[in-house]
Amino acid sequence: MASAPSRNSFSGSNSWLKIGLFSVGLGQSFAFVLVPPLARDLGLTEVQTSTIFAISAVAWAMTSATWGRASDNYGRRNIAMIGLTGYAISLIALITPLLLAKHGLMDVLLLFPLLIAGRLINGLIGSATRPAAFAFVADHSPPSIRTKKFARLESSFLAGTVLGPLLGGFLYLFDEAMPFYLFSSFAIISAIGLYKTMPNTSRDISRDDTSPQISFLEKSILPFLVLASLYSFCQASLLQSIGFYVSDSFTNYEDLPLLISLSFALLSVSTIISQYFFTDYFELKNYQLLILGSIIMIFSYIQAAYATSIAMFYFAIILNGMGSGMVRPANASALSLSQSPDNQGSAAGYLGSVIPIGHMLTPVVAMPIYQYNPSNLYLFSAALCFIAVIMLLSISTFKAEYIEENVT
């Protein structure tokens, strides 16, 4: 096992991890904004376009845990670098066939399979970055500040999702491929930074130990995964319905695209502020963050369901971001604290594997509910958050001593 990095070494590695996750956020959000309309203009249907992202999400769910275990065995740095490189390649592989087809340099019939292949690279390889990054931070942060450190990683990714459409849209005006190549280069640069500053720490696999590989069914893991799945569905259904809901509910307003963009910005910014505010200023324990965040999200979905003005809807969005900013790092930190040092990568991988569940279920569960009655979708999400509160109050795993000692 590699020797523990110095404080300066950890600080440098942590900074490059944040830059890496920031670059991933840039590309992910811009791809969701640009690829669907561009693909539709080239003849793909909405179903085909959503299938491209759904297949990637399935691949992400299937490989994340494997990458987490690989980081335990072969080092956090190596796996994080592989993930960032795969993400960079996937961005180029995604935009290239679109531009070739748009300019008549490629048969449009090849577009759909090539887009699936390009996005699949992100699901299969890009999924390595997150579990390796969170496992590295867990390795080198004491329980008293782990939630704060996890919140920083989450905030870096969310900051990228905020700036992605803005920066990418501006660069796209100059050159159609520029945003994708620039965001890819950010990921490659961060991978190089990790190579130079990050020790390739891993668990000591040379020791004679017969401890079995942890399973996602264990009581110290499964409750957190179920909780993350509920949050994932609520968030994914909200993200994929905001545009429809604003367009359908507030038709008397002008500049609907601007109102929709502002909704996304408010959601991301309020999440980032919440992560800093409640983990730094108040320093609430993980269990308190999970309970309070879930309750706030319940009220946010109810508010959204009955919003009669865009201002009321924006208030609901801000509340949702506040709640999400509490529960996401708290759940990740609580899961980490429940595991031994040898299993941090595996635990982070399991958590990463359930993050895409919401995007996988939204087309088959959330959208049919929305088509029946848009408000019912948000009431359904409120019910799921209520189930999360019941779980938190009734399952002892969430109240265990190692989680309660989030701040000491």
* HEC profile of 254-307: CCHHHHHHHHHHHHHHHHHHHHHHHHHHCCCCHHHHHHHHHHHHHHHHHHHHCC
Mean pLDDT of 59-75: 86
**Highest averaged pLDDT of the listed ranges 135-139, 217-221, 384-388:** 384-388
pLDDT in tens, 163-177: 887 788 788 888 888
Looking at 21-25, 193-197, 201-205, 329-333, which range is the least confident one? 201-205
Please report the DSSP string for 102-145 in residue order. Answer: HTTSS-GGGHHHHHHHHHHHHHHTGGGHHHHHHHHHHHTS-GGG
Question: Which DSSP state fits 342?
Answer: G
Closest by CA position to 236, among listed 61, 22, 17, 40: 61
Say if residue 344's pLDDT is above 60.
Answer: yes
For tokens 């969170």, the residue is 134
pLDDT band per the 50, 70, 90 thresholds, residue 202: low
Q: pLDDT above 90 covers what percent of the chain? A: 28
146 vs 55, more confident: 55
User: What pTM was computed for the model?
Assistant: 0.74
pLDDT of 11 reads 67
pLDDT of 35 reads 79
Structure tokens that stand for 224 in this block: 């957190």
Helices 310-337 and 222-249 cross at an angle (nearest 10°) of 170
Mean pLDDT of 75-101: 93
pLDDT band per the 50, 70, 90 thresholds, residue 190: very high
Q: How far, rounded to the nearest angstrom, does the alpha carbon of residue 100 sit from its chain's CA centroid?
A: 30
Quote the CA–CA distance of 107 and 101 in Å, as a whole number: 6
Instruction: For residue 198, count CB atoms less than 10 angstroms from its CB and return exposed for 0-12, middle for 13-18, buried for 19 or more.
Output: buried
pLDDT of 206 reads 41
pLDDT of 400 reads 66
pLDDT band per the 50, 70, 90 thresholds, residue 96: very high
CATH ID of 222-404, from 1.20.1260.10, 3.40.50.300, 1.20.1250.20, 3.10.620.30: 1.20.1250.20
Say if residue 113's pLDDT is above 90.
Answer: yes
Indicate where the chain has its CATH 1.20.1250.20 domain(s): 8-197, 222-404
pLDDT of 210 reads 45
- CATH H-level superfamily of 8-197: MFS general substrate transporter like domains (1.20.1250.20)
Say if residue 401's pLDDT is above 60.
Answer: no
pLDDT band per the 50, 70, 90 thresholds, residue 185: very high
pLDDT band per the 50, 70, 90 thresholds, residue 148: confident
**Highest averaged pLDDT of the listed ranges 41-45, 157-161, 292-296:** 292-296
Identify whether the C-beta of residue 336 lies closer than 8 Å to the C-beta of residue 209.
no
Structure tokens that stand for 146 in this block: 């782990």
Write the single-letter amino acid at 9: S
pLDDT of 407 reads 40
SS3 81: helix
